[in-house]
Amino acid sequence: MIVIKIGGGEGIDYDAVCDDVAQLMAEGQRLALVHGGSHMTNVVAEALGHPPRFVTSPSGYTSRLTDRAALEIFEMVYCGQINKNIVERLQARGVNAVGLSGIDGRIWQGPRKKAIRAVENGRKRIIRDTYTGKVEQVNTPFLNSLLDGGFLPVLTPPAISYA
């Protein structure tokens, strides 16, 4: 299986990506497509009055601060707007695409972080009650069953926490 990752920044040419994916599928490649959506999530969050917040870890990694409202906006944009837009474009090109999040079928699982470390104004602090985590398991049997059935999985975050 080849995994193709589409970023979530502004200016992505989804038609060109879908053209390439359709060509690879026509050549018999087994693919999974993973996409982001950070730019559109920021736009929608601003419009809904819940502007995005970001934190920087002590190691310099910047990430989205995800409270419950931010997670709901994230899911709306990633799982709804962007995922279904890509699936529709692929279907128009004859690709039997199915859009899923990491939650569906427990495709991506991992632990929810109890807390994250951040640096703000030069000071380290601990932030709790965020909806961030780390993927540790991929449900490859489920993905392979989709591929075996002739489907192209179009996948997006979020993942699901362990039960």
Per-residue confidence band for 163, with pLDDT thresholds at 50, 70 and 90: low
Structural domains of the chain, ranges and CATH numbers in brackets: 2-161 (3.40.1160.10)
Cα dihedral sign for 53, 50, 82, 138? positive
Alpha-carbon span 142 to 76, nearest angstrom: 24
Please indicate, yes or no, whether the overall pTM of this predicted structure exceeds 0.85. Answer: yes
Alpha-carbon span 97 to 4, nearest angstrom: 14
pLDDT digits (tens, 9 = 90+) for 114-161: 999 999 888 999 999 889 899 999 999 999 999 999 999 999 999 999
Alpha-carbon span 157 to 35, nearest angstrom: 8
* Length of the chain counted residue by residue: 163
Looking at the DSSP bridge assignments, the partners of residue 32 are 3
